């Protein structure tokens, strides 16, 4: 079952991210920082629950595209985690699909992700710089930084660089 997080889930979400990202707290700290910011969208922080245990989490929050004409609001998918032992069972895919559907339902036009190029394209993500002329602010190869248009041609004519809020600096 996938549902929006509630405050009682926070500690379990922290634990899922800690173990999913190799026993480090960076991603869990990022989630907490985003929750405290005005860029947090409660409907887009989702948990996957199996037998009353949280086994996965996804967070999609507001970020920006810096262009010559100013900033454009968009969304960033980060982080997405599945508890070890539950990985490879389709939980991450279900979280991404549900998250993107909620983004569509809320009227958002596009989402960016810095992630595995063999995982995210199956949901429609494409390398951002080569397909949309929108750069990643971090030194990564094009296939790892991707975007999806939730509305057709919504990135057409936009050229720039994604700008993540300061809370993302804690993740290295």
The residue-averaged pLDDT of 2-13 equals: 98
Residue 168's pLDDT band (cuts 50, 70, 90): confident
pLDDT tens figures, 111-156? 999 999 999 999 999 999 999 999 999 999 999 999 999 999 999 9
Assigned token pair, 165? 């809020």
Task: Identify the pLDDT of residue 121.
Answer: 98
CA distance 35 to 165: 12
Q: What is the mean pLDDT of residues 21-41?
A: 95
- Domain holding 15, by residue range, is 2-170
Q: Give the CATH number for residue 149.
A: 3.40.630.30
pLDDT of 172 > 60? The answer is no
DSSP state of 135: E
Instruction: Give the integer Cα–Cα distance in Å for 57 and 47.
Output: 4
9 contacts 53 by C-beta, under 8 angstroms: no
pLDDT at residue 52, as a whole number = 95
How many domains in the chain? 1
Q: What percent of the chain has pLDDT over 70?
A: 98
- Is the pTM value of this prediction over 0.85? yes
| pLDDT tens-digit readout, 35-63 | 999 999 999 999 999 999 999 999 999 99
The residue length of the chain stands at 172
pLDDT over 70 (residue 170)? no
* Average pLDDT of the chain, as a whole number: 96
Q: First-to-last CA distance in the chain?
A: 31
């Amino acid at each position: 079952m996938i549902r929006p997080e509630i405050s009682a889930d926070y500690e379990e979400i922290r634990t899922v991210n800690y173990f999913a990202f190799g026993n480090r707290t960076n991603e869990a700290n990022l989630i907490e920082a985003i929750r405290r910011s005005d860029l947090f969208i409660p409907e887009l922080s989702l948990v996957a629950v199996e037998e009353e245990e949280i086994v996965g989490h996804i967070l999609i929050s507001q970020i920006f595209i810096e262009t010559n004409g100013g900033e454009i609001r968009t969304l960033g998918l980060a982080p997405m985690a599945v508890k070890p032992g539950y990985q490879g069972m389709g939980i991450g895919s279900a979280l991404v699909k549900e998250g993107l559907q909620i983004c569509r339902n809320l009227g958002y036009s596009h989402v960016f992700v810095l992630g595995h190029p063999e995982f995210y394209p199956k949901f429609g993500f494409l390398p951002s710089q080569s397909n949309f002329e929108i750069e990643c602010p971090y030194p990564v190869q094009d296939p790892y930084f991707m975007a999806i248009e939730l509305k057709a041609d919504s990135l057409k004519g936009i050229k720039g660089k994604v700008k993540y809020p300061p809370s993302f600096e804690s993740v290295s």
